[in-house]
């Protein structure tokens, strides 16, 4: 157990990861808790540096506000650090990377007809 940001910084060398899958991170919906959200521009920049050439990040969330914030954070990471995402794709209710394996959250939310927002960032 621990903070994934610290664990990754200690354990992952630059340019060694081909894919990061981040499914349904805690959206911390209360305004006073939003500072705890994982997918900030700084963290996305760290993930960018950890990816191999052509590597990607696949993100899924059911929380539209967080999805919009993540998308903005990706744009900010490019502006602030020079992390250039060669490809950015997004969709609603359509898994981009692989539709074969689905999480329990995806199956549950599909049954409930809830929208699921996907974002894929490729280095």
So which residues are the catalytic ones?
26
Cβ atoms of 109 and 85 within 8 Å: the answer is: no
Return the closest-CA partner of residue 69 out of 36, 47, 94, 103: 36
**Angle between helix 41-50 and 64-81 (nearest 10):** 60
Helix extents (H) in the chain: 4-11, 41-50, 64-81, 104-111
């Amino acid at each position: 157990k621990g903070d994934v940001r610290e664990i990754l910084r200690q354990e992952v060398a630059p340019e060694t990861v081909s894919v990061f899958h981040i499914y349904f991170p805690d959206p911390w919906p209360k305004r006073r808790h939003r500072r705890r959200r994982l997918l900030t521009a700084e963290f996305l920049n760290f993930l960018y540096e950890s990816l191999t050439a052509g590597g990607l990040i696949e993100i899924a969330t059911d929380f539209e506000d967080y999805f919009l914030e993540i998308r903005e954070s990706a744009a900010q990471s490019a502006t602030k650090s020079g992390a250039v995402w060669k490809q950015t794709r997004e969709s609603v209710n359509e898994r981009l990377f692989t539709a074969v394996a689905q999480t329990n959250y995806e199956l549950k939310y599909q049954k409930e007809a809830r929208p699921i927002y996907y974002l894929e960032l490729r280095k």
